[in-house]
Amino acid sequence: MRVFQGFDELEKIPNPVLTIGTFDGVHLGHQRIIQQLNEEAQKHGGESVLFTFYPHPRMVLFPDSHGLKLLQTQVEKIEKLERMGLQNVIVHPFTKEFSRLTAVEFVRDYLVNKLNVKTIVIGYDHQFGKNREGSLELLKDLGPVYDFNVIEIAAQDIDDVNVSSTKIRNALSTGNIETANLFLGAPFELNGTVIPGKQVGRKIGFPTANMDLGSSVKIIPAAGVYLVRTVLQNRAEYFAMMNIGVNPTVRDTDEVSIEVNLLDFSGNLYGQELQVKALTRLRDELKFNSLEDLKIQLSKDEHTVRNLLLHSNY
């Protein structure tokens, strides 16, 4: 898959078959669009193209009030798009100036003059351009003028999936990992670097890897203890227990941390890349009267996890 950071990097794409959107999460609805996009590209002897944006438009248009957390970092999104078989991605910088383009200007100046688009695959309710004035009907009107074809993704095809990035964010914010994963079509991921912590877990026999996500806009699920599957340095896989929260038993802070206890692992993880795939939420984060009480609860959590792994298809 080729990734172009704006049109300055753009190379010739033969017979582009295009769709447009932010595609945060690349959830089941997005996957259905990409599947149809790839099929149309093959049918028309062209290549599939996603025209997407970064930063997210809401972050630019409402910088002080958007309150938006993203389901994926840019790296995570690109990796998932590639797994979907997409051939080209254009990541266009979203600016206030760009947002002022009318829908006609966007189609003419970018899709036609710069990309030479031949086919646009679009949802029945998609809106774009200044004040979201662009629509499927406008694209159909402009098609004969600029010599491109418009293929509508039927309402039934989209509505049958009944999923949105907002629904997934809501599920994650309440710790409903199963629903989020169902809508995503895969386990929700956190990717980061292991950094030094206070080493309290090591003292009580449950050493944890403290994760730095390297992103302030990535959504973090609700506080609590989770069963997760991890991938270390893109190679070794381990099941693990993950705690998200403020560690009230040992810390007096509001700063949220992500700590992962890899089962059946020993060694130094500092500086290594860790991928976490959330499978299910075990319980809320709790405050204990002592480290000994915390250790007892962690032993119970591990017993629960090993039972789940023994009797499930994780």
Is residue 123 located within the same domain as residue 152?
A: yes
State how far the Cα of 111 lies from the Cα of 3, in Å rounded to an integer.
Answer: 16
The mean pLDDT value for 218-239 works out to 94
Is residue 107 located within the same domain as residue 196?
A: no
Point out the domain boundary residue: 163, 193, 219.
Answer: 163
Point out the domain boundary residue: 112, 136, 163.
Answer: 163
> Within a domain: residue 174?
no
The mean pLDDT value for 97-103 works out to 92
**Per-residue model confidence (pLDDT) at position 105:** 95
Is residue 84 within 8 A of residue 34, CB to CB? The reply is yes
Q: pLDDT at residue 66 above 90?
A: no
Nearest to 258 by CA among 165, 184, 192, 312: 192
Tell me the percentage of the chain whose pLDDT exceeds 70: 98
Higher pLDDT, 161 or 96: 96
Could you report the per-residue pLDDT of 134-173, keeping only the tens digit for each?
Answer: 899 999 999 999 999 999 887 666 565 578 899 999 999 9
What angle (nearest 5°) sits at the alpha carbon of residue 124, between those of residues 121 and 148? 35
State how far the Cα of 115 lies from the Cα of 187, in Å rounded to an integer.
Answer: 34
State how far the Cα of 245 lies from the Cα of 237, in Å rounded to an integer.
Answer: 24
Could you report the per-residue pLDDT of 16-49, keeping only the tens digit for each?
Answer: 999 999 999 999 989 989 999 999 999 989 999 9
> How high is the mean pLDDT of the chain?
91
Q: pLDDT at residue 304 above 70?
A: yes
Q: What is the DSSP string of 129-188?
A: SGGG-B-HHHHHHHHHHHT-EEEEEPHHHHHTT---HHHHHHHHHTT-HHHHHHHHTS-E
The mean pLDDT value for 230-240 works out to 92
Point out the domain boundary residue: 94, 128, 163.
Answer: 163
Element (H, E) at 193: strand 188-195
Q: What is the DSSP string of 194-214?
A: EE----HHHHTT---EEEE-S
The residues that bridge with 18 in the sheet, in sequence order, are 49, 120
**Per-residue model confidence (pLDDT) at position 230:** 96
**Per-residue model confidence (pLDDT) at position 192:** 95
**pLDDT tier for residue 65 given thresholds of 50, 70 and 90:** confident
Is residue 154 located within the same domain as residue 242?
A: no
| Single pTM value for the model | 0.90
Could you report the per-residue pLDDT of 181-194, keeping only the tens digit for each?
Answer: 999 999 999 999 99
Q: Burial code of 276-301, b = ≥16 C-beta within 10 A, e = fewer?
A: bbbbbbbeebeeeeeeeebbeebeeb
Could you list the residue range(s) of the whole structural domain that residue 20 is in? Answer: 2-163
The mean pLDDT value for 267-283 works out to 94
